[in-house]
Chains A and B, each alone.
Chain A
Amino acid sequence: MTGTAPASGASGKTDTLRFLLGDEVRELRNIDPTVSVLQYLRETEGRCGTKEGCAEGDCGACSVVIAELDDERKLTYRAVNACIQFLPTLHGKQLITVEDLKPQQHDEVNAQALHPVQQAMVDCHGSQCGFCTPGIVMSLFAMFHDETSAKDRGAINDALAGNLCRCTGYGPIVKAAQRMRSYGAKDQFDARAEVTVETLAGLAGAETLVLKQGARRFFAPTTADQLAGLVIAYPDACILAGGTDVGLWVTKQHQILETVIYTGDVAELHRVEETPDGIRIGAAATYVEAQNVLAREYPDFGELIRRLGSVQIRNSGTIGGNIANASPIGDSAPVLLAAGARLVLRRGGERRELPLDQFFHAYRETDLTSGEFLESILVPRRNPAAKLRCYKITKRFDQDISAICAAFAVELEGGIVKSLRTGFGGMAAIPKRADACEAALTGKAWTRENIEAAMDALDSDFSPMSDMRASRDYRATLARNLLLKFFFETSGAEGETRLVGHKDLAHA
Chain B
Amino acid sequence: MPDARNLETEAISGGVHHALKHDSAHKHVTGEAVYVDDIPAPANLLHLAAGQSARAHAKILSMDLSMVRQAPGVVAVLTAEDIPGENDVGPVIHDDPVFAEKVVEFIGQSLFAVAAETREEARRAALLAKIEYEDLEPVLSVGDALAKENFVLPDHVIRRGDSKAALDRSQHRLSGSLQVGGQDHFYLEGMVSLALPAEDGDVQIWCSTQHPSEVQHNVARVLGRPSNAVTVDVRRMGGGFGGKETQSALFAAIAALTAVRTGRPAKFCVDRDDDMIMTGKRHDFRIDYDVGFDDDGRIEAVDFMQASRCGMSADLSGAISDRAMFHADNAYYLNDVTITSHRCKTNTVSNTAFRGFGGPQGMVGIERVIDEVAFALSKDPLEVRKLNLYGGEGRNITPYSMTVEDNVLPEIIEELEASSDYARRRAEIRTFNASSPVMKKGISLTPVKFGISFSTKHLNQAGALIHIYADGSVHLNHGGTEMGQGLYIKVAQIVAEELQIDLERIKISAASTGKVPNTSATAASSGTDLNGKAAQAAARTIRERLVAFAASRYDVKPSEVFFHANKVQIGPQTISFDELIGQAYLARVSLSSTGFYKTPKIFYDRETASGRPFYYFAYGAAVSEVMIDSLTGEHKLLRVDILHDVGRSINPAIDLGQIEGGFIQGYGWLTSEELFWDETGRLRTHAPSTYKIPACSDRPEDFRMKLLESGWNREDVIHRSKAVGEPPLMLAISAFLALSDAVASVADYRIRPDLDAPATPERVLMAVERLRREAAGAEQTEAAQ
List residues of chain A with CB under 8 Å of any chain B CB. Answer: 42, 46-56, 58-59, 61, 97-99, 101-102, 114, 117-119, 121-123, 125-134, 137, 153-154, 156-158, 160-161, 163-174, 252, 254, 391, 393-401, 403, 467-471, 473-474, 477-478, 481-482, 484-485, 488, 493-500
Selecting from B409-417, B499-507, B681-689, the interface stretch reads B681-689
- Structural contact, B697 and A161, CB atoms closer than 8 A: yes
The residues of B that contact A119 with a CB separation of less than 8 Å are 29
> Given A129-B189, A254-B124, A254-B127, are A48 and B31 neighbors across the interface (CB < 8 Å)?
yes
- Structural contact, A129 and B676, CB atoms closer than 8 A: no
Selecting from B101-109, B233-241, B330-338, B610-618, the interface stretch reads B233-241
Residue B439 lies at the interface, judged by CB distance under 8 Å to chain A = yes
Min CB distance, A506 to chain B, in Å?
10
Residue B340 lies at the interface, judged by CB distance under 8 Å to chain A = no
CA distance A396 to B766 in the complex (A): 17
- Structural contact, B29 and A131, CB atoms closer than 8 A: no
Which residue of the partner chain, among B272, B632, B653, contacts A478 with CB atoms under 8 Å?
A: B632
Which residue of the partner chain, among A51, A56, A396, A494, contacts B35 with CB atoms under 8 Å?
A: A51
CA distance A243 to B525 in the complex (A): 42
- Structural contact, B693 and A58, CB atoms closer than 8 A: no
B675-699 contacts to A (CB < 8 Å): 676, 678, 684-685, 687-690, 692-699
> Given A171-B699, A488-B438, are A118 and B657 neighbors across the interface (CB < 8 Å)?
no
Q: Would you give 9 A-B contacts (Cβ < 8 Å), ordered by A? A: A48-B38, A50-B31, A97-B31, A122-B21, A131-B187, A158-B697, A169-B661, A398-B696, A500-B697
- Structural contact, B690 and A469, CB atoms closer than 8 A: yes
- Structural contact, A495 and B699, CB atoms closer than 8 A: no
Which residue of the partner chain, among A118, A174, A471, A495, contacts B439 with CB atoms under 8 Å?
A: A495
19 further A-B pairs in the complex, CB-CB below 8 A; given A51-B189, A129-B189, A474-B765:
A46-B40, A49-B32, A54-B688, A98-B29, A99-B30, A114-B29, A125-B654, A128-B485, A130-B25, A130-B28, A130-B236, A157-B697, A164-B693, A169-B661, A254-B120, A396-B698, A403-B761, A493-B437, A497-B629
The 8 closest A-B pairs by CB, nearest first: A49-B31, A129-B484, A131-B238, A130-B28, A169-B664, A128-B484, A58-B688, A157-B697
> Given A396-B694, A468-B676, A500-B636, are A495 and B272 neighbors across the interface (CB < 8 Å)?
no
List residues of chain B with CB under 8 Å of any chain A CB. Answer: 21-22, 24-35, 37-38, 40, 120, 123-124, 127, 185-190, 236-241, 271-273, 435-439, 483-486, 627, 629, 631-636, 653-654, 656-657, 660-665, 672, 674, 676, 678, 684-685, 687-690, 692-699, 701, 703, 760-762, 765-766, 769
- Structural contact, B660 and A168, CB atoms closer than 8 A: yes
> Given A128-B484, A254-B124, A499-B635, are A468 and B188 neighbors across the interface (CB < 8 Å)?
no
Min CB distance, A495 to chain B, in Å?
5
CA distance A184 to B38 in the complex (A): 31
- Structural contact, B696 and A166, CB atoms closer than 8 A: no
- Structural contact, A170 and B237, CB atoms closer than 8 A: no
In the complex, residue of chain A having the shortest beta-carbon distance to the beta carbon of B664: A169
- Structural contact, A166 and B239, CB atoms closer than 8 A: yes
- Structural contact, A393 and B186, CB atoms closer than 8 A: no
In the complex, residue of chain A having the shortest beta-carbon distance to the beta carbon of B769: A477
Most buried by B among A395, A397, A494: A395
- Structural contact, B687 and A58, CB atoms closer than 8 A: yes
The residues of B that contact A166 with a CB separation of less than 8 Å are 185-188, 239, 241, 661, 665, 693
> Given A170-B699, A474-B765, are A98 and B438 neighbors across the interface (CB < 8 Å)?
no
> Given A153-B701, A252-B273, are A129 and B438 neighbors across the interface (CB < 8 Å)?
no
- Structural contact, A53 and B188, CB atoms closer than 8 A: yes
Min CB distance, A81 to chain B, in Å?
11
CA distance A262 to B403 in the complex (A): 70
- Structural contact, B697 and A471, CB atoms closer than 8 A: no
> Given A252-B273, A495-B439, are A51 and B684 neighbors across the interface (CB < 8 Å)?
no
The residues of A that contact B35 with a CB separation of less than 8 Å are 51, 131
The residues of B that contact A494 with a CB separation of less than 8 Å are 437
Which residue of the partner chain, among B188, B189, B699, contacts A164 with CB atoms under 8 Å?
A: B188
In the complex, residue of chain B having the shortest beta-carbon distance to the beta carbon of A470: B762
- Structural contact, A171 and B660, CB atoms closer than 8 A: yes
The residues of A that contact B694 with a CB separation of less than 8 Å are 169-170, 396
CA distance A482 to B661 in the complex (A): 34
- Structural contact, A129 and B21, CB atoms closer than 8 A: no
In the complex, residue of chain B having the shortest beta-carbon distance to the beta carbon of A469: B690
Min CB distance, A395 to chain B, in Å?
5
The residues of B that contact A117 with a CB separation of less than 8 Å are 29
The residues of B that contact A484 with a CB separation of less than 8 Å are 631
The residues of A that contact B634 with a CB separation of less than 8 Å are 393-394, 397, 499
- Structural contact, A157 and B636, CB atoms closer than 8 A: no
> Given A54-B272, A166-B187, A484-B631, are A171 and B697 neighbors across the interface (CB < 8 Å)?
no
> Given A53-B272, A169-B663, A482-B631, are A129 and B435 neighbors across the interface (CB < 8 Å)?
no
Min CB distance, B418 to chain A, in Å?
23
The residues of B that contact A397 with a CB separation of less than 8 Å are 634, 695, 697-698
The residues of B that contact A401 with a CB separation of less than 8 Å are 689-690
> Given A51-B238, A125-B653, A157-B697, are A496 and B438 neighbors across the interface (CB < 8 Å)?
yes
CA distance A468 to B674 in the complex (A): 8
In the complex, residue of chain B having the shortest beta-carbon distance to the beta carbon of A58: B688
CA distance A469 to B689 in the complex (A): 10
The residues of B that contact A132 with a CB separation of less than 8 Å are 188, 238
Min CB distance, A305 to chain B, in Å?
15
Min CB distance, A176 to chain B, in Å?
9
Min CB distance, A379 to chain B, in Å?
26
- Structural contact, B696 and A122, CB atoms closer than 8 A: no
Min CB distance, B353 to chain A, in Å?
15
> Given A118-B29, A254-B124, are A129 and B187 neighbors across the interface (CB < 8 Å)?
yes
Min CB distance, B672 to chain A, in Å?
5
Min CB distance, A490 to chain B, in Å?
14
- Structural contact, B689 and A161, CB atoms closer than 8 A: no
> Given A166-B665, A395-B692, A395-B761, are A129 and B483 neighbors across the interface (CB < 8 Å)?
yes
The residues of A that contact B127 with a CB separation of less than 8 Å are 254
The residues of A that contact B697 with a CB separation of less than 8 Å are 154, 157-158, 161, 397-398, 500
- Structural contact, B699 and A496, CB atoms closer than 8 A: no
- Structural contact, A496 and B37, CB atoms closer than 8 A: no
The residues of A that contact B654 with a CB separation of less than 8 Å are 125
CA distance A478 to B629 in the complex (A): 11
Min CB distance, A17 to chain B, in Å?
20
CA distance A170 to B631 in the complex (A): 29
Most buried by B among A125, A156, A482, A484: A125
CA distance A128 to B663 in the complex (A): 15
Min CB distance, B714 to chain A, in Å?
29
